Each structure stands twice: as structure tokens, then as C-alpha cells.
Amino acid sequence: MKITVYLGANQGRYPCFRKAAQELGTWIGRRKDTLIYGGSKTGLMGVLAESTLEAGGQVIGVEPDFFVEAEVQHEGLTELIVTKTMGERKEKMIELGDAYLAFPGGTGTLEEIAEVMSLVSLKMTDRPCILYNLNGYYDSLKAQLDRMVQDGLCSKERLEGIYFIEELGKLEEILS
């Protein structure tokens, strides 16, 4: 399985983010799955890629050329796909994935998973969209989606296929 993971190029404030990124990478690698991610060697991205590789998984990075020029790409990946734009990067990561997971991250992570959420809600894909709600990170987003339903701007049916998880075991349940 190819699992597209969106996450931060920074470490974040809480040690639990780094630990969970290592656990996720180890889990992906031990399953002999392939990680699709943004291609960076920095922050949580680097931690996830390294732990996946160390556990025997394949890692495909997708990175726009301006990040390669800035030399933030991870050099030890199974494959690095270089795109011209962030939009092309996003398209390629969606195209390659069998499942999509948003780990804690910044505005880029939010923008990328929002597009996947839209595809799921429009039934343009039946692949799961999963938000790793580590340390309550996505509580506000979950509340916003609930508000959309309450206010009649979205239906519960449109949110089918979008999951919020708080532990790795739930990811295994969804992907089984």
C-alpha cells in the first residue's frame, strides 16, 4: 500500500510529535508499505522518512524544484520526484496514494489535506482521508466539520471516508 502522509517540515513544540512520527514510520516500514511524502529531510518529515527507511519500507518524496534548489530534499530516499510547482506536487502525491494521512503540520499540511477532504466529500475518490489527531491537534477542524453539518452546509454523508484518529492502532483498523 502507498500511504501519502502530509506533515510538518518543523519538529513542533511537543516531543510526542517526533515520537509519533517515528512510530508511524516504523509501522509503515514493517508493513513493507511505501511512504509518499513531501521529500524534505527536515522536521517531522525527515523523522518519518528515516524511520520508514530504517524499518524496511520504501519512501517516495515529491518536492518542487525550488525546495531542491534550497537543498532541503532528503538524499537517501527510494525515489525523489521533482515537480515545477506546489500544485503539481500536490497532484502527484494524491495520484500516488492509496490512503491519505494528515499528521500535525502547518499551513501546507492543512491546504493539502483540505483538497483530499474535498475529493472524498465529492465522492471523487473512495480512498480514506485520515487526520491523526495527536495531542488534540485537529480538534478544531473536527469541530468545524461538525458545525458545517449542524448549520446545514454539509451532510454527514459527505464526510464519510474522513476519519479522525488518536492512535496508530486506529490507522491499522481503517487500512485493513
Note the pLDDT tens digit of each residue in 77-122: 999 999 999 999 999 999 999 999 999 999 999 999 999 999 999 9
Amino acid type, 171: L
22-55 residue pLDDT tens:
999 999 999 999 999 999 999 999 999 999 999 9
Q: Give me the pLDDT at residue 91, please.
A: 97
Number of domains into which the chain is organized = 1
CATH number at residue 123: 3.40.50.450
Q: Give me the pLDDT at residue 66, please.
A: 83
Confidence of residue 17 (pLDDT cuts 50, 70, 90): very high
Query: Average pLDDT of 5-25?
Result: 96
Cell numbers for 40: 524534505
114-127 residue pLDDT tens:
999 999 999 999 99
Burial class (CB within 10 angstroms; exposed 0-12, middle 13-18, buried 19+) of 168: middle
pLDDT at residue 73 tops 90: no
Mean pLDDT of the chain: 95
Confidence of residue 68 (pLDDT cuts 50, 70, 90): confident
Q: How far, CA to CA in Å, does 18 sit from each of 13, 46, 58, 64, 136?
A: 9, 10, 20, 24, 15
- The answer to whether residues 43 and 22 touch, using CB atoms and an 8 Å cutoff, is no
Give me the domain span that covers residue 35. 2-175
- The answer to whether residues 85 and 78 touch, using CB atoms and an 8 Å cutoff, is no
